[in-house]
Amino acid sequence: MWIPTEHEKYGVVIASFRGTVPYGLSLEIGDTVQILEKCDGWYRGFALKNPNVKGIFPSSYVHLKNACVKNKGQFEMVIPTEDSVITEMTSTLRDWGTMWKQLYVRNEGDLFHRLWHIMNEILDLRRQVLVGHLTHDRMKDVKRHITARLDWGNEQLGLDLVPRKEYAMVDPEDISITELYRLMEHRHRKKDTPVQASNHHLFVQMKSLMCSNLGEELEVIFSLFDSKENRPISERFFLRLNRNGLPKAPDKPERHCSLFVDLGSSELRRDVYITVHIIRIGRMGAGEKKNACSAQYRRPFGCAVLSIADLLTGETKDDLILKVYMCNTESEWYQIHENIIKKLNARYNLTGSNAGLAVSLQLLHGDIEQIRREYSSVFSHGVSITRKLGFSNIIMPGEMRNDLYITIERGEFEKGGKSVARNVEVTMFIVESSGQILKDFISFGSGEPPASEYHSFVLYHNNSPRWSELLKLPIPVDKFRGAHIRFEFRHCSTKEKGEKKLFGFSFVPLMQEDGRTLPDGTHELIVHKCEENTNLQDTTRYLKLPFSKGILLGNNHQAIKATKESFWITSFLCSTKLTQNGDMLDLLKWRTHPDKITGCLSKIKEIDGSEIVKFLQDTLDTLFGILDENSQKYGSKVFDSLVHIINLLQDSKFHHFKPVMDTYIESHFAGALAYRDLIKVLKWYVDRITEAERQEHIQEVLKAQEYIFKYIVQSRRLFSLATGGQNEEEFRCCIQELLMSVRFFLSQESKGSGALSQSQAVFLSSFPAVYSELLKLFDVREVANLVQDTLGSLPTIVHVDDSLQAVKLQCIGKTVESQLYTNPDSRYILLPVVLHHLHMHLQEQKDLIMCARILSNVFCLIKKNSSEKSVLEEIDVIVASLLDILLRTILEITSRPQPSGSAMRLQFQDVTGEFVACLLSLLRQMTDRHYQQLLDSFNTKEELRVSDFLKNFLCL
């Protein structure tokens, strides 16, 4: 027998059915059906395209899909629960199919073909969504493309454009008129041009070196150079070419392709250049006979330069041919790129008439993950990543780096008894504490695996060689202590044997005894005489010697042979684990030196921000440890240090560390008694605001109030957990007294310089962020009353500085958007103060754009909660407070002449439309009772007839 279906309600026909059986329903493949009843392998129902015809069909011909049922029974409505974008796609393509054929009949060939391509593209995107293998980000991209094409097609065919929210259609009955207006307005105001990306990346692919006099292997080194600051700003991209000038590993794209990542807008300047240095591997002189010397040396060959600004216009993938130059004097090789940039033609010339470097360069824009998705073919084959020197503009939490950059700068050497100058080669090793050489931690650049030793290029007959070669040493943190870098100096003979004779060495430890690493900067190292390699095998023999000229001058060491010879290096550490800052080390080791605590806390503002965020958890533990140790002595200094760290995280460079501090507060913070001192010091500052002449530091404190309250609340929660809720009344009194001090300072009028109004503005900017913290400890009504009293203490608009008005209204706006306002109990408490400030601003016709936005949010929230009883009371309050002034505001705006500028006219239209949407939303929410109450507010019909309210209403 036939029984009504419970779950099988909706399906798609997967095979055509002719319906030749009695009561059969003819179906075509792809039809959607609503199922009413089932019986022994058969369904009874109807096709959604023709719901008036009902019949039976085999259940095996239907693929069931999930759906929700409204109004179960005879008049039930089935709504598919699949992705709304898929549903819209399917129905829209069906509609387009019929209209597409009509285009052909009407001979509209251009639109016919364009629509055909769009339909095929949508079908392909639909398949990608249905497969379900897309990542979340990729799914968003696909849906964005789909909806853009659906809207384009509907517009071309003259169909209605639908409002969307997060790519899905919205039902106008389910949202407020203000929200519907915003959605449609956003569609019309949406810019065709994409937002300018803040991150840029340079893709480099080496093709070949064209030169007639090759025959030796070559090293090609790419880097970015800032000619304004006269320094490299990126690591190096290093690759090797064979004797024919082609990449040695053509099957490994990562060896000849690289992406210079995280270039900010500041790097896309005319004074930033791509520099290419070419080193040949072979004999000392390029023209020497093959049997003259068997040794292989790294020797200068040529240099090419290109301004990165040249790529901003083209962004072409086509091969570029860069001219290759050689310096006239080999001793100037270290600055050949600078000479080419400055066009000092007398110092360099072309390496050959037909010499050229073939490269492919492309500037890419956007987030690195976005680049990976859009250029997946490039990344799938392999590409090396070349970083900026040091940290990127934004340091991400969890980023693990421990890179020491060493630049081999120059040397001053004696002839050593020879009639001519030496051919000096530098060999560099990293030696660990055990005396063993660390393997594979010297990086010549991306694209080349790390090596265990480095050999500099050789300058012919030069006792004062300058190299300026940059190397990266990605040494593990656990290997730093006790390790050192050793530089060995050898004279390279040009005789047939090609001997490399050791004549000296230098060394530098990576870490000092107190735990600080080698400080950034240039170091003049002592060259110690040594002619036997065996003398260097036992590191203990030379590690006791002074390594730097600075140490030698500082300490009255015994005379050391050959201190006239020197070797210069520049070091730069980029580490998330190690520090060079002595003040930071002293702070973290405060228990070892308790007498230095006051000094350490005073110097925390002088420590670089990147050092603080590296050790953020340790630093915070230290501060609260000191507070626990002696709060009376160090309370205010710890508070000031905490404020400095909190405000440091407001910097865009460290903004991403806010979640790290949030995690610390929730999971690691253990200061159960800290809330007392934090409240005490915060109140001390607030009480002195009205009297203080200079308020810069007080404003810093107020700016940090969100996280100060987070620490106060978490500390109190820990205390309550440990004591079973002791001193609860005392805590409530402290908070009440603190907010009373706040209300007093907010109620004061600024005099003189306006510093007080600036402090009031700073407080109001961050005050709404405190609400969610107070809700963790207090009832929602208590918090609402505290907020209402605080906002109610603000002076009236007539007495408020113009600079403070906008900030005050922004605070009201954030309050309406806050979690506190969504609760009906607290909303009813806050609504009068919100409407009071809106009424004042509308009356003065000030900050109308912000007023319209706040009102829109108020009505959006009322629509979402329209089923609640409290909403009717809220409508009562709004009608009594705002209906009249809202009508007058709209009439005032529309009666003004439109501004002349296009941007101002657009802004004028936006605010007018938003106010009208607010009025319509209010009228839509009003019930018969509200209208009757409005009429009853006029004593007689004559009073209503002559009232401004009726005139204003009729004018609209």
pLDDT at 953: 55
pLDDT at 14: 93
Q: Is the pLDDT of residue 562 over 50?
A: no
| Banded model confidence at residue 84, pLDDT cuts 50, 70, 90 | confident
Task: For Cα atoms 101, 106, 110, give the angle at the middle one, nearest 5 degrees.
Answer: 80
- Residues linked to residue 774 through DSSP beta bridges, in sequence order: none
Q: In whole angstroms, what is the distance from residue 129 CA to residue 168 CA?
A: 14
Q: Is the pLDDT of residue 916 over 90?
A: no
Q: In whole angstroms, what is the distance from residue 912 CA to residue 894 CA?
A: 7
pLDDT at 140: 83
Q: Which residue has the higher pLDDT, 682 or 212?
A: 682
Query: Would you call 19 exposed, middle or buried from its count of C-beta atoms within 10 A (0-12, 13-18, 19+)?
Result: middle
φ, ψ at 157 (rounded to 5°): -90, 0
For residue 257, give the H/E element and its range.
strand 257-263
For residue 35, give the H/E element and its range.
strand 32-39
| Beta strands across the sheet bearing 319-323 | 319-323, 356-365, 200-210, 257-263, 384-386
CB 236 within 8 A of CB 223: yes
In our burial notation (b when 16+ CB lie closer than 10 A, e otherwise), range 794-803 reads bbebeebbee
Q: Which residue has the higher pLDDT, 879 or 711?
A: 711
Q: Nearest to residue 43, comparing CAs of 52, 33, 53, 51?
A: 33
pLDDT at 306: 93
Under 8 Å CB-to-CB from 507, ≥6 apart: which residues? Answer: 431, 484, 485, 486, 487, 525, 542, 543, 547
Q: In the structure encoding, which two tokens stand for residue 564, read together?
A: 């006239």
Q: Is the pLDDT of residue 686 over 90?
A: yes
Mean pLDDT of the chain: 86
Q: Which of these ranges, 192-196, 401-405, 447-451, 456-460, has the smallest mean pLDDT? A: 192-196
SS3 of residue 40 by DSSP:
coil
Q: In whole angstroms, what is the distance from residue 391 CA to residue 657 CA?
A: 14
CB 736 within 8 A of CB 787: no
Pairing of strands 217-226, 231-232: antiparallel
pLDDT at 556: 47
Q: Is the pLDDT of residue 215 over 50?
A: yes
φ, ψ at 694 (rounded to 5°): -105, 125
CB 796 within 8 A of CB 840: yes
pLDDT at 915: 86
pLDDT at 905: 53
Q: Nearest to residue 730, comparing CAs of 741, 738, 718?
A: 738
> pTM of the full predicted structure?
0.75
Q: Hey, which bits of 88-176 come out as E strands? A: 164-165, 168-169
pLDDT in tens, 274-333: 999 999 998 887 656 555 556 789 999 999 999 988 777 655 556 789 999 999 899 999
DSSP 61: G
| Banded model confidence at residue 946, pLDDT cuts 50, 70, 90 | very low
SS3 of residue 57 by DSSP:
strand
Average pLDDT on 694-706 reads 93
SS3 of residue 150 by DSSP:
helix
What's the Rg (C-alpha) of the chain?
38
The percentage of residues in the chain with a pLDDT greater than 90, rounded to a whole number, is 46
Q: In the structure encoding, which two tokens stand for residue 877, read together?
A: 């309050």
Q: In the structure encoding, which two tokens stand for residue 910, read together?
A: 């936006």
Q: Is the pLDDT of residue 700 over 60?
A: yes
Q: In the structure encoding, which two tokens stand for residue 543, read together?
A: 């590690």
Q: In whole angstroms, what is the distance from residue 402 CA to residue 825 CA?
A: 53
| Banded model confidence at residue 898, pLDDT cuts 50, 70, 90 | low
Secondary structure (DSSP) of 98-121: HHHHHHHHTT-HHHHHHHHHHHHH
pLDDT at 908: 55
Q: Which residue has the higher pLDDT, 938 or 661?
A: 661
pLDDT in tens, 226-264: 999 999 999 999 999 998 888 887 777 777 899 999 887
Q: In whole angstroms, what is the distance from residue 464 CA to residue 347 CA?
A: 19
Q: Nearest to residue 669, comparing CAs of 727, 710, 701?
A: 710
Q: Which residue has the higher pLDDT, 738 or 874?
A: 738
Map out the domains of the chain with their CATH numbers: 3-80 (2.30.30.40), 200-386 (2.60.40.150), 402-575 (2.60.40.150), 829-956 (no CATH)
The percentage of residues in the chain with a pLDDT greater than 70, rounded to a whole number, is 89
Half-sphere exposure of residue 718: CA atoms within 13 angstroms, side-chain side = 18
Q: Which of these ranges, 176-185, 515-524, 583-592, 813-822, has the smallest mean pLDDT? A: 176-185
| Banded model confidence at residue 485, pLDDT cuts 50, 70, 90 | very high
Task: For Cα atoms 320, 203, 313, give the angle at the middle one, nearest 5 degrees.
Answer: 60
For residue 763, give the H/E element and its range.
helix 755-766
Q: Nearest to residue 416, comparing CAs of 496, 295, 529?
A: 529
pLDDT in tens, 14-42: 999 999 999 999 999 988 999 999 999 99
- Residues linked to residue 396 through DSSP beta bridges, in sequence order: none
Work out the angle between the directed axes of helices 705-723 and 674-687 (0-180°, nearest 10).
140
In sequence order, which ranges of 818-947 are alpha helices (DSSP H)? Answer: 819-822, 824-844, 848-864, 870-895, 902-925, 928-936, 941-946
Q: Is the pLDDT of residue 192 over 50?
A: no
Q: Is the pLDDT of residue 559 over 50?
A: no
CB 273 within 8 A of CB 306: yes
pLDDT in tens, 576-596: 888 888 888 889 889 888 888
CB 860 within 8 A of CB 925: no
- Residue type present at position 883: L
CB 115 within 8 A of CB 103: yes
Under 8 Å CB-to-CB from 50, ≥6 apart: which residues? Answer: none
Under 8 Å CB-to-CB from 499, ≥6 apart: which residues? Answer: 295, 492, 493
DSSP 542: H
C-alpha dihedral, 416 to 418 to 423 to 425, nearest 10°:
-30
pLDDT at 204: 92
Under 8 Å CB-to-CB from 281, ≥6 apart: which residues? Answer: 216, 217, 218, 219, 296, 297, 298, 299
| Dihedral sign, Cα of residue 121, residue 127, residue 130, residue 136 | negative
CB 464: neighbour CB atoms within 10 A?
A: 12
pLDDT at 286: 64
